[in-house]
Amino acid sequence: MDKKAEIKIQQQKKQVHLFYCVECEDLARKVAAHSELITLRSINWRNFDDGFPNLYINDAHDIRGQHVAFLAAFSSPGVIFEQLSVIYALPRLFVASFTLVLPFFPTGSFERMEEEGDVATAFTMARILSNIPISRGGPTSLVIYDIHALQERFYFGDHVLPLFETGIPLLKQRLHQLPDSDKIVVAFPDDGAWKRFHKLLDHFPMVVCTKVREGDKRIVRLKEGNPAGCHVVIVDDLVQSGGTLIECQKVLAAHGAAKVSAYVTHGVFPNRSWERFTQKSDGSGSAFAYFWITDSCPLTVKSIANKPPFEVLSLAGSIADALQI
């Protein structure tokens, strides 16, 4: 590419003003470090005496006619309202366009109504986000990574344009750096994970596990593939308690896997459940060689810092690229 073409491409890129919630400050700074076109902007996150938010968008006049983005983390119901208040306000400040980056869509595993009375909170969250005001540039762009149920893309209304990204390229890059990269086998804990990710990882040999019911228990079994003698990497979109991953590791080891690692895009780990992976019950170290997560859940990233076998693969570069779409 000649110099003129490079300059033309650079001129076509957007200068983006990036706001962020308190939890996402570290990730926001990493995103900005990836591109000179991204400027960090600040919000005063305060509360009134009754606990409700008292918020102020600094230098609001300066973002008129500018491309604006907000990096959100809906880690608990308690922080959602204050962030939604800002998310609804920013597009109304005469901005050229508005992008909401919500790496982890938190209610995504609650999408089914199996009997009358169930509340599909994933649909509720999608309705709330679908009512973000339209900016001067049109509907809000909504960036989400590895949403739990693929059908949830149809939950959003026409006022937002959902852009579904994946953390899998970060995993592939990391696997190619391993000394035993030629011995990697990818394992899926169930058919759902296989459907979601197998096309992105189809150059690796694969193993698929399945959950079967035995009495009152759900047992993990090997469904297809051969893990013997290989470094097997279990891949899924998110982890909560981690019980399925642990059972899957046991099955793979029993079938001859040389070692087992895991990757999930979203390390939710409520109630410090990540502690189950830091060492075996006899104190001899983790049953997992590596456990990779992204920084889509910032509170988890702080909790597991410098704790083997955990390793964080940052979404910062991918988010910086998404802000140019």
The tens digit of pLDDT for each residue in 44-81 reads 999 999 999 999 999 999 999 999 999 999 999 999 99
Q: Per CATH, the architecture of 168-294 is what?
A: 3-Layer(aba) Sandwich (3.40)
pLDDT of residue 121: 85
More confident site: 114 or 142: 142
Residue range 285-294, pLDDT digits in tens? 789 999 999 9
Cα 65–Cα 71–Cα 75 angle in degrees, nearest 5: 150
d(CA 238, CA 146): 9
pLDDT at 281: 56
Predicted confidence at residue 5, as pLDDT, reads 53
pLDDT of the residue at 284: 65
Average pLDDT, rounded, for the chain: 91
pTM of the model: 0.92
pLDDT per position as a tens digit, 301-315: 999 999 999 999 999
pLDDT, one tens digit per residue, over 196-221 is 999 999 999 999 999 887 777 778 89
CATH code linked to domain 16-165+317-323: 3.40.50.2020
Phi, psi of 45 (to 5 degrees): -95, 95
| CATH 3.40.50.2020 domain position(s) in the chain | 16-165+317-323, 168-294
- The confidence score (pLDDT) of residue 257 equals 97
Concatenated DSSP letters of 101-143: E-SS-TTTT-----STT---HHHHHHHHHHTSPPBTTBSEEEE
Query: Following DSSP, what letter does each residue of 214-257 receive, concatenated?
Result: ETTEEEEEEEE---TTSEEEEEEEEESS-HHHHHHHHHHHHTT-
Cα(47)–Cα(39) distance, integer angstroms = 26
> What integer pLDDT is reported at residue 73 of this predicted model?
98
